[in-house]
């Protein structure tokens, strides 16, 4: 029993005591090189399991679009699976499935991400397929394939936005936060009218401008031999033609000078409140502090907003807070849904009280350390995976390279959080989450007659 008691005591030591023993610096070995056509390549050996992972990140997202021509980045994510010169339509998925591989892609405001996971003996297949659609996609793309995928994207928009409860809230928020000329004003998936108006020539021009090797970064990771893998990359990607670098992105100044309020209706059973503030860009001072502030407010059942609104007062169904970090501009979001019989005004009053407390008095050391510990646990969990649907260290290396020029920025990233103090959190909330400069959006249920008509 004495041994068990000692073990239990060690497990429940206060987090402040546990935090006094710093973890050793992370060491994630890699090699990197750049092909003559401009493609940057990062290789990482991990012999844990016999898998190989290919991650290709294009430095283009919806922020590279322009008013009247939105949705192109996401449309091209779809078109990249429609066949290329040497891998006709259907070959991409069929050949990967035949060797037990998986693949997918995603588009954000800032980047478009393509990944393939295969048994290591099928690595060359993955590199061939990825290089062929980079270099020879346009040779088989037709107006008919563009029209077909345009319709697929429109249906996806209907499913994810028009026909999803509260689906239009994010679009409305960003339209309120960012003026019409700002690259974050429009949604990643684009506007319906713009998708309809996009011509085949528009789409081709977009590909030629942004899908060049010099605008991409490739990571190959897993149970590989770096020297042999370099030869394979050179074999398959060296013949892809170089392209001119895209011009620097234009970032109009953006600021909230007061409180913007709006109410929209949706086919939902309960209203929902959204409060949003413009905040520092990803990796800028204040970004990590606001991540911790979000955890203090809504990270678990003992967090401030959850405990008051959901547990103690029982006036909210749910509440959550996030720092949505992005390359050009971030925003901090609090959303909450009142329980039946309670109102938006009730929960907004409590939210403002808790924000006021954080502006005037730092959170406790325990709250901050708990948030940092949770971040570290999630961070290390990601390093256990090469990549895939939920990301992993290969994806992170690629993202670090595009943002900082250093694929091995893991320790610096962790240091952003480990160095935070309670006073840093209070200062960030005071500076970036003022009561007088924010967006207040309410999604209200449609009138009963409208709901019945649907």
64: Cβ–Cβ under 8 A, 6 or more apart, which residues? Answer: 73, 183, 210, 246, 249
Sorted by where each starts, the structural domains of the chain and their CATH numbers stand as: 31-237 (3.30.830.10), 259-453 (3.30.830.10)
Q: What is the rounded distance in angstroms from the CA atom of residue 194 to the CA atom of residue 178?
A: 19
| Per-residue pLDDT tens digits for 312-329 | 999 999 999 999 999 999
Mean pLDDT of 222-243: 97
pLDDT-derived band at 10 (thresholds 50, 70, 90) equals: very low
pLDDT at 217 over 70: yes
For residue 453, the model assigns a pLDDT of: 39
Residue 159 phi, psi dihedral angles, 5° rounding: -70, -45
For residue 250, the model assigns a pLDDT of: 77
Q: What is the rounded distance in angstroms from the CA atom of residue 159 to the CA atom of residue 293?
A: 33
Of 219 and 22, the structure prediction assigns the larger pLDDT to 219
Torsional sign, CA 123, 211, 187, 277: positive
- The answer to which of 20-34, 397-411, 413-427 has the lowest mean pLDDT is 20-34
Question: Of 313, 296, 408, 411, which is closest to residue 362 (Cα–Cα)?
Answer: 296
Question: Of 193, 189, 210, 90, which is closest to residue 138 (Cα–Cα)?
Answer: 210
Q: Residue 213 to residues 53, 105, 216, 243, 413: CA-CA distances in angstroms?
A: 19, 18, 5, 7, 27
For 98-137, b/e burial (b = at least 16 CB within 10 A) is eeebebebebebbbbbbbbbbbbebbbbbbbbbbbbbbbb
pLDDT-derived band at 21 (thresholds 50, 70, 90) equals: low
Above pLDDT 70, what percent of the chain? Answer: 94
pLDDT-derived band at 22 (thresholds 50, 70, 90) equals: low
For residue 18, the model assigns a pLDDT of: 42
For residue 198, the model assigns a pLDDT of: 86
Mean pLDDT of 427-435: 98
| Per-residue pLDDT tens digits for 436-451 | 999 999 999 998 755 4
pLDDT at 418 over 60: yes
Q: What is the three-class DSSP state of 154? A: helix
| Per-residue pLDDT tens digits for 131-153 | 999 999 999 999 999 999 999 99
110: Cβ–Cβ under 8 A, 6 or more apart, which residues? Answer: 59, 61, 63, 326, 327, 328
- The answer to which of 18-22, 333-337, 416-420 has the lowest mean pLDDT is 18-22
For residue 357, the model assigns a pLDDT of: 98
pLDDT-derived band at 13 (thresholds 50, 70, 90) equals: very low
For residue 252, the model assigns a pLDDT of: 79
What H or E segment, with its residue span, contains residue 189?
A: none
Torsional sign, CA 53, 56, 62, 63: positive
For residue 5, the model assigns a pLDDT of: 44
State the chain's mean pLDDT as an integer.
92
pLDDT-derived band at 1 (thresholds 50, 70, 90) equals: very low
With contact defined as beta carbons under 8 Å apart, do 134 and 56 qualify? yes
Q: What is the rounded distance in angstroms from the CA atom of residue 412 to the CA atom of residue 408?
A: 9
For residue 251, the model assigns a pLDDT of: 83
With contact defined as beta carbons under 8 Å apart, do 352 and 435 qualify? yes
For residue 379, the model assigns a pLDDT of: 96
- The answer to which of 22-31, 355-364, 396-405 has the lowest mean pLDDT is 22-31
pLDDT-derived band at 16 (thresholds 50, 70, 90) equals: very low
| Per-residue pLDDT tens digits for 103-113 | 999 999 999 99
Mean pLDDT of 12-21: 46
Mean pLDDT of 85-91: 93
Mean pLDDT of 403-423: 97
């Amino acid at each position: 029993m004495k041994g068990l008691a000692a073990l239990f005591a060690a497990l429940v030591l206060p987090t402040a005591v546990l935090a006094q023993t710093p973890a050793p610096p992370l060491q994630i070995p890699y090699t990197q090189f750049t092909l003559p056509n401009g493609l940057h390549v990062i290789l990482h050996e991990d012999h844990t399991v016999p898998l190989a992972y290919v991650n290709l990140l294009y430095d283009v997202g919806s922020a590279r679009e322009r008013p009247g021509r939105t949705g192109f980045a996401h449309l091209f994510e779809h078109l990249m699976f429609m066949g290329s010169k040497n891998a006709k339509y259907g070959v991409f998925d069929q050949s990967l499935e035949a060797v037990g591989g998986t693949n997918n892609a995603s588009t954000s405001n800032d980047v478009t991400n393509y990944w393939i996971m295969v048994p290591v003996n099928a690595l060359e297949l993955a590199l061939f397929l990825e290089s062929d659609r980079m270099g020879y996609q346009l040779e088989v793309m037709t107006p008919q394939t563009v029209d077909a995928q345009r319709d697929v994207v429109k249906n996806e928009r209907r499913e994810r936005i028009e026909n999803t409860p509260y689906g239009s809230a994010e679009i409305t928020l960003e339209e309120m936060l960012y003026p019409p000329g700002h690259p974050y004003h429009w949604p990643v998936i684009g506007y319906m009218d713009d998708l309809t108006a996009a011509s085949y020539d528009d789409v081709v021009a977009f590909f030629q401008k942004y899908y060049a090797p010099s605008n991409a970064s490739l990571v190959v990771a897993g149970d590989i031999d770096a020297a042999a893998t370099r030869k394979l990359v050179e074999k398959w990607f060296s013949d892809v033609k170089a392209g001119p670098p895209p011009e620097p992105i234009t970032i109009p100044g953006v600021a909230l000078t007061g409180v913007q309020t709006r109410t929209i209706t949706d086919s939902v059973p309960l209203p929902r409140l959204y409060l949003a503030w413009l905040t520092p860009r990803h990796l800028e001072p204040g970004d990590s502090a606001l991540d911790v502030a979000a955890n203090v407010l809504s990270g678990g059942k003992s967090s401030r907003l959850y405990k008051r609104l959901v547990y103690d007062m029982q006036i909210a169904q749910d509440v959550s807070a996030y720092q949505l970090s992005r390359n050009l501009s971030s925003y901090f979001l609090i959303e909450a849904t009142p329980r039946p019989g309670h109102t938006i005004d009730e929960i907004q009053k409590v939210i403002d009280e808790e924000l006021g407390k954080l502006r005037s008095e730092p959170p406790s050391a325990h709250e901050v350390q708990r948030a940092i510990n949770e971040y570290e646990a999630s961070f290390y969990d990601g390093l256990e995976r090469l990549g895939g649907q939920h990301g992993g260290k290969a994806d992170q290396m690629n993202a670090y390279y595009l943002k900082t020029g250093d694929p091995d920025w893991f320790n610096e990233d962790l240091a952003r959080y480990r160095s935070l103090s309670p006073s840093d959190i209070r200062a960030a909330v005071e500076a970036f989450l003022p009561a007088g400069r924010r967006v207040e959006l309410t999604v209200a249920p449609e009138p009963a007659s409208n709901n019945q008509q649907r």
